[in-house]
Structure 1
Amino acid sequence: MEGATICSTTDSIEEGFDLTQISLRPISLDDLDDLMLWTTDEKVARYCTWEPYTSKEDGINFIQNIAGKSLWFRAICLNNRAIGCIDFFSCEGQRRNRHKSVELGYALASIYWGKGIATHAVKQVIKVAFSEFPHLERLQALVDVENVASQKVLEKAGFQREGVLRKYVVIKGKSRDMVMFSVLSNDPLS
């Protein structure tokens, strides 16, 4: 979805709101209505591998089948309401006995973009990745070159930009250039 310093409680997002109201917890079918608010949003799905959901069955499938395939998956919650998700999963192409790297992914309801929530969640996940999975050496993230906001989230959270992978993946039928970011278990983080 860290060894990083979690944002302080004075990091106010908007009047009357601070980052202490953000938590990460397992997702459940009780979150279906909240999940549908952001998974049906074309702005959220734009850089994701999935198309906007069109039915509650899509959401149920996501909660019951897709989320469970991640190594670690949590809902990003505001006052315990799921406003997004964050996970990390085994990097493709690795031998089964060499899981030293995992890949981070996240999505957040567009009404919460630009408020520091994604950065806060990513910082929490860096801490989780390297403390709960001590064998990990690398947490990486691939971001579409056009998704500048997500690149900024990762940089603010302590990830280092490694470079552009040209025509690296096909998403929704189109070859996409991706920016590779990483943070290592021994990287100094603020």
Structure 2
Amino acid sequence: MEPAADGDAHRQRREDDRAPIVSLRPLGLADAVDFMAWASDDRVMRFLKRPLCATREQAVAQIRDTVLGHPWFRAICVAGRPVGQVSVWPYADEGGHRANLGYALARDHWGRGIAAAAIRMVVARVFDELSRLERLEAVTDVENVRSQRVLEKAGFKREGVLRRYIAGRGGGEARDAVIYSFLSSDRA
């Protein structure tokens, strides 16, 4: 890779200066209203397998039933307030060496580098927290170009297209997906 020209480096510094400060923390029942900012938005959830949360009660139930028992689930926060989620799910049949990364971000926060920053934070810690983890995978719909850009900005490598890999929402036709990976040896 060639070094960036001075103008490019200067532009990157200006963009970094404007980027919000992102943090990760556990998501709890008290976060149900914030959770709804992305979990009730079909534009955010259309590529995810979970149902929309149209009410606070549905959000509380999903956090209680899905999030609290999850092996590695964090809220993506800006100024301490949850604006999204990121999760790592180890594949049980692989002895813990491989896991799936998933994430979602409230639409009001798209295009600001928040998701990529959160994923870089996950990569910086998850290989140490899950001691046997060697490979982190992310699968995204071929039409979800925004998600593909986020993964590439976070350092993931595109491996290829998985044909008819994702089950259609509501029993629809299976869709193609793009698979990305980040290996423990990819960390700088």
TM-score by length of 1: 0.85
Contact 2:75 2:84 in 1 (8 A): yes
Secondary structure of 1:153's aligned partner = helix
Residue equivalent to 1:106:
103
Q: Which protein shows a greater Rg? A: 2
Greater strand content:
1
Alpha-carbon distance, 1:38 to partner? 1.5
Contact 1:70 1:90 in 2 (8 A): no
Corresponding letter in the other structure for 1:11: D
Corresponding letter in the other structure for 1:26: P
Residue equivalent to 2:28:
28
Residue equivalent to 1:60:
60
Alpha-carbon distance, 1:9 to partner? 9.7
**2: distance between equivalents of 1:65 and 1:52?**
14
Residue equivalent to 1:169:
166
1:44-93: CA deviations, max 9, x gaps? Answer: 1111112321121211112111113432110011111111100100236x
Aligned equivalent of 2:138, options 138, 141, 156: 141
Greater helix content:
2
Contact 1:85 1:106 in 2 (8 A): yes
Percent identity at matched positions?
41
1:184 is aligned to 2:155: no
CA-based RMSD of the aligned residues comes to 1.9
Unaligned runs of 5+ in 2: 1-11
Change (3 A) 1:30 1:156: same
Residue equivalent to 2:16:
11
Secondary structure of 2:73's aligned partner = strand
**2: distance between equivalents of 1:12 and 1:50?**
35
1:75 is aligned to 2:75: yes
The structure showing larger relative contact order (alpha-carbon pairs under 8 Å, at least 6 residues apart) is 1
**2: distance between equivalents of 1:124 and 1:183?**
13
Unaligned runs of 5+ in 1: 1-6
Equivalenced residue count is: 175
Alpha-carbon distance, 1:8 to partner? 8.0
